[in-house]
Structure 1
Amino acid sequence: MSSKMTYKQELWRSALGTNYPKEYMEKNEQRLYSELRDIRASLENRTCADCGAKGTVWASVNLGVFLCMTCGAHHRSLGTHISKPKGATGTYWWGEDEIAHMKSHGNARAKMVYGESVPPNGVTPDDPIKWKQYLTDKYVHKRYAPYLGKNCATSDTDEFPAMNTQNTKFTNVFMPDMISLLALANENNRYRIIIDIQA
């Protein structure tokens, strides 16, 4: 009777769900961190995507945003079904998929998709309850998204505003705006209708 030897490779799983051999991660750790550092050093990624503070040491891998220490801690309280925060200073391994996601997203794109970095009502990270609500409104409900204001409906959860079709005009959408809208639709698996009601 012959016995077969099996080799079980140790794997490391990224926050986005890709498995990498640990040996690969150890070998490429410095290169991957160097790529992350370069992405983090770009102008828009130097300030927190949520509060605007200078200096980003955390990132939300699935949302693709860079965060300050305080907002990174707040993202941890949201739960990983909303945000997957991770240190961005070299303490943790970063997979190729995570690096690519941060490169294709980042804080500039987040402004187009989720809205400005500072909440309009003056709430600050110093109030954890209100700040958590702000983050939930921003990332889950998309309340601060540029094109999802009071004249917009989001399928099954909101009602369409009352309108007279004679006073309704569909606005022209430029290509960057369309990309932003497609990203919103894709993230929620539902479509959003953008209308402009004239007074």
Structure 2
Amino acid sequence: MTITFDGFTIPIVFLTLVAAYVLKLLLSAKVASDSPKPSKGVRLETLLDPEVRKNHVEFNKKLHKDFPGQPVIPVLGSEPNFYLVHTMEAAMEVTAKSEYFSSNPWVDGRLVALNTMTKTDHDRVLKTVKRFYAASKVKGIYTEVIDRALAANRPLLRTTGDLVKWAKRVQMYTSLCVAGIAKDPTPELIDRFIHYNDVAVRLVSPLGGIGRR
């Protein structure tokens, strides 16, 4: 069966195929518009997922695949202006700009890094503490000090399982020893300096950026 139009004969089968093709295009466009848009960032819960953190190497590979040529990725479902920097070059660039780099971008006050000093202040403090932390100074006593620090804090880890508190105590134990404040600091002295450090960070961190609100 055919249809004649302005002298041209068009088979019904051909018209049917054309109509079907147009209908398919319209339906495809509707499905595409109704389907969720692809994510333009990475969700916060994904970053906090234990399995993702466990397999972080594979996750990093996926980031480079999903966001090619994009070193800074928005974090969805988090605080405003919160980004994931996932390339070495971008991380070095961000941290080098201390004027714009927040030492504590988390609103709940957790410590990420302390990078609030100007270069002048940093150089002045460095002259004072360098003699305590120079490689030649630390090399001879580090092994002994770290062994004592681990031994002294082993009971805490066994009884509480608090890795955060344990890490703070080990770090502060070694710092007090290397700085010459105490050869075998007590838990009370260690906790006192930890508390001081936490308070100092809360005071100083906002000067470096977002900090505690």
User: Under a length normalisation based on structure 2, what TM-score does the superposition of the two structures give?
Assistant: 0.24
Larger Rg: 2
TM-score by length of 1: 0.25
Q: Which has a greater percent of helix?
A: 2
**Greater RCO (Cα-Cα under 8 Å, separation 6 or more):** 2
